[in-house]
Structure 1
């Protein structure tokens, strides 16, 4: 068992596991999290689990985000993070709605930077309720995962204006000493890293927003099963559907050139 004590209004964290199934390799305790590196007893597969309890005070949120970034820095393998983040990604993740604010945008940026994928909820759209007469509902608890994927060159990259010149600059920008095969292998490794970073910054953020739009549609659909949506909520669902249906336009600049529409 691993544990982090509670702090003021913020709860503590306890992580349990079955020693017959998992072997604990390492454990790291932070202010807002506890991270355990496990090895499956059956196949030796290693992965990390991070249990979190996000701060309730806004002034402590950046420290929380920095702590998650530091965790990613010490582990580059499969990663699962779950718990009460005390933050939401969009107005649709609370029953009183509202508009997108800076805290939501910041949370979205952090998840994009950490390269985490949302684990879908089973059951209702909210995980917490409180406030006056317990009439406020939000999705504060959630799970994220990061899986290593084998490198694959995407043909759509070649449709982006300027990418060939950018790849050439990456290839020619590094040099190694050794045999021809060694230098070739090392250059390919660098190129893979550069392409993954470029793909994440250019395409990954768009895909995440598209997935977020689909999730918002699903939240509105689930809410409609409980109670009738008002006109404002119906319009919000319509906009989310259009966002998902139409996709997004890639308007980032690579090498000073506009990439235009892609995908």
Structure 2
């Protein structure tokens, strides 16, 4: 967590030993004695296969492996002010690392499980304690259910706000997978865990899927940021973003709690309204009648508010007249269509100003180009009114 109120995470993996806080400049990944000895033995074996005896240099070899297995955290975070907790790698799976800025997040302790790293402490300006759980769920369904139970038990032992983030290796519904099999039972267990833990999910922007298979044929949203009710209610405008995948098959995901206020939302105005007769007079009249003096920004805001009110009145008045106008135009279409077919017609409805009147006609000759043009204009006018009426309803 940084001073900008941003929680970051990338995909990593597992382990469960209870190591204390590590050096803030680097974190050893998988450097326990068993893994180190095994790596050295395999290197010596490869040397023997190619005819090179490296056994006399075992100590130097182990030192090289140990030094090269460290991740320089300053290169990831970009600052020397950091604290971290980790769990070691296991097999081919990477480790879990949680990094925080001590000037913002005061770390009190941690809990380490086989598939999660829990760090708890306090954030400046926030009264309840903050619990951040870095998760890398296994793919096996049984172990995954066991992880959900462990996390529920963990939440019962520590007070405060909860943030669970990482690779959950599970989706909530079928829309979060593409070109891969959807496991209904796994999704149900995951949703049951979220419900029992009373966790909330922010709407994610950016990338739709957070993971892509190496061949690019399968995508899924298995990386999540879940927060408790209290956290969500305190920062309801949090912004969750999945960024493009540049260095990994997983998308980096950030949750920003900074609330950006751009002021009141502007009123809607559709381009189609500009084609409606009378809109120019409405806007000009609203501005002319708003004679004010004072601060320019206040005057401008007042004029825009007046324009908004007058447009709303004009829109409501138009909405009342449009149904009758459409009926009249529909009847005109029937009239011109009859002329185009060389038929006779006895009467028609005509729109005259603010009223509907009946006009009687007795006999007409066959269709002329003028009649066809009138029919076309009439149908286009109906389309335009209906389109404008739709925008009126949206506004």
What's the TM-score bracket when you normalise by the shorter of the two chains? Answer: 0.5 to 0.7
Give the match's secondary structure for 1:39: strand
- Any idea what the Cα deviations from partners look like across 1:152-203, whole Å, max 9, x if unmatched? xxxxxxxxxxxxxxxxxxxxxxxxxxxxxxxxxxxxxxxxxxxxxxxxxxxx
- Superposition deviation, residue 41 in structure 1: 3.4
Tell me which structure has the larger Cα radius of gyration.
2
Query: Match for 1:117 among 200, 208, 211?
Result: 200
Structure 1 residue 11: deviation in Å? Answer: 3.3
130, 136, 159: which one aligns with 1:47: 130
Q: Does 1:145 align with 2:259?
A: no
Question: Could you tell me how far apart the structure 2 residues matched to 1:84 and 1:49 are?
Answer: 14
User: Cα gap change, 1:102/1:76 in structure 2, threshold over 3 Å: closer, same or farther?
Assistant: same
**Structural mapping, 1:85-124, within 5 Å:** 85-96=168-179, 101-124=184-207
2:149 aligns with one of 66, 80, 88: 66
Question: How high is the TM-score relative to the length of structure 1?
Answer: 0.52
Stretches of 4+ aligned residues off by more than 3 angstroms: 8-11, 41-45, 97-100
Tell me the distance in 1 between the aligned counterparts of 2:87 and 2:218. 28
Q: Which residue of structure 2 lines up, in the alignment, with residue 28 of structure 1?
A: 111
Cα gap change, 1:43 to 1:72, in 2 (>3 Å) = closer
C-alpha contact 1:10 1:56 (8 A) present in aligned 2: no
Contact 2:129/2:159 (CA < 8 Å) preserved in 1?
no
Q: CA contact under 8 A between 2:161 and 2:228: conserved in structure 1?
A: yes
2:206 partner SS: coil
> Could you tell me how far apart the structure 2 residues matched to 1:11 and 1:81 are?
19
Q: Deviations over 1:208-237 (max 9, x none)?
A: xxxxxxxxxxxxxxxxxxxxxxxxxxxxxx
CA RMSD of aligned residues (A): 2.0
Matched-pair contact (CA < 8 Å) for 1:54–1:84: yes
Aligned to 1:241: none
SS of 2:146 mapped into structure 1:
helix
Structure 2 unpaired stretches of 5+: 1-83, 232-395
Distance (Å, rounded) in 1 between the aligned partners of 2:103 and 2:124: 7
- Structure 1: tracts of 5 or more residues without a match: 150-263
Q: Taking structure 2 as the reference length, what is the TM-score of the superposition?
A: 0.35
Q: Distance in 2 between matches of 1:114 and 1:34?
A: 17
* 1:99 shift after superposition: 5.6
Matched residue, 2:163: 80
Q: Choose the corresponding residue for 1:136, options 218, 231, 235.
A: 218
Are the equivalent residues in 2 in contact too, given 1:77–1:147 (CA < 8 A)? no
